[in-house]
Amino acid sequence: MPEMPEVETLRRDLEKEVVGKKIKAVEVTGARAVRRHKDPSEVGARLEGRKITGVTRKGKYLLVSLDPAPGPSGEKHTDVLVVHLGMSGQLLRARSAKEPLAKHTHVVITFSQGGQLRFVDPRTFGEMFVTAEDEVEKAVPELAHLGFDPLEQVMSWNRFGEMLRVRHAKLKPLLMDQQFMAGIGNIYADEILWAAGLRYDRPSDSLSSQEVRRLYRSLVETLQDAIKHRGSSLADEQYRDLFGEVGDFQSQHKVYDREGQPCRRCRNPIVRVKSQGRSTFLCEQCQV
């Protein structure tokens, strides 16, 4: 599943490529992709003729803002196109409608200025829907309870340490808890913990001041580095950026999916263990 670095990479690309463009037509061929709408044609009715004014991110959700439109009573209202990629979703920019459609393309947004934005999702866990700007958190309740965003919200390591201490939880599940911190999944939790030299099962209230600093620094630096490399595409290459290219951060992974390979720090072999039903990769020599 795409995590924060992949979604943030898409957000930055969308900001450059589609903001300011007017939506000419919307074609929905996969009703499950717009399942929140009783009638798939409602998506087109709410998007066509609207201009994209901005793209933001909340956790792993993309929020595409539209220019205000008159409501039934004549008053202006602002809508948002909400996109969640699920397990295998892709947003792809096509320069021309003549470009061949990828298999499993479920929604095609055509712009007045030319070109298209296409939503592709082989496993159909992802979705798109349009809602009023002030109804987003009602539509997606988890967004109202997201924890801090380490890319958007800078905090002191003292504050971060306090948050760790009061939770008394194992580190990896805590990093992946969306109510503690938004956007981190299995891949980046493993990479962050390796960079910090900490085990996945260390209690969060057992860290020294130095370990807290190390964890916070590793958290921010790992995410920033992943975005610089345009995210991680695993063996299935299901994550693609806006231009259909795979990410490159998987070549920089220190532990994730490297079972049996030497640790890049101490040369001990990376091991894989099962924790809460998930694979966890770590170096048992240099993560304590």
Active-site residue numbers? 2-3, 60, 278
Question: So what's the pLDDT on residue 77?
Answer: 79
10 Å CB burial of residue 95 (0-12, 13-18, 19+) is: exposed
Q: Is the pTM of this model over 0.85?
A: yes
User: Tens digits of per-residue pLDDT, 201-229?
Assistant: 999 999 999 999 999 999 999 999 999 99
Does residue 73 register a pLDDT over 80?
no
Which one-letter amino acid corresponds to residue 140? Answer: V
Cβ-contact 43, 26 below 8 angstroms: yes
For the segment 225-262, what is each residue's pLDDT rounded down to a tens digit?
999 999 999 888 889 999 999 999 999 999 999 999 99
Please give the Cα distance from 39 to 109 (Å, whole number).
17
User: Domains (ranges, CATH) in the chain?
Assistant: 4-145 (3.20.190.10), 157-282 (1.10.8.50)
The mean per-residue pLDDT over the stretch 2-26 comes to 97
CA distances from 147 to 192, 202, 236 (A): 17, 20, 30
Residue 61 has phi, psi (to 5 degrees) of: -100, 140
Q: Which residue has the higher pLDDT, 277 or 203?
A: 203
Interval 51-69 mean pLDDT: 96
**Percent of the residues in the chain that have a pLDDT greater than 90, as a whole number:** 93
Mean pLDDT of 112-130: 96
> Which pLDDT does position 201 carry in this prediction?
97
Average pLDDT on 137-141 reads 94
Is 72's pLDDT higher than 90?
no
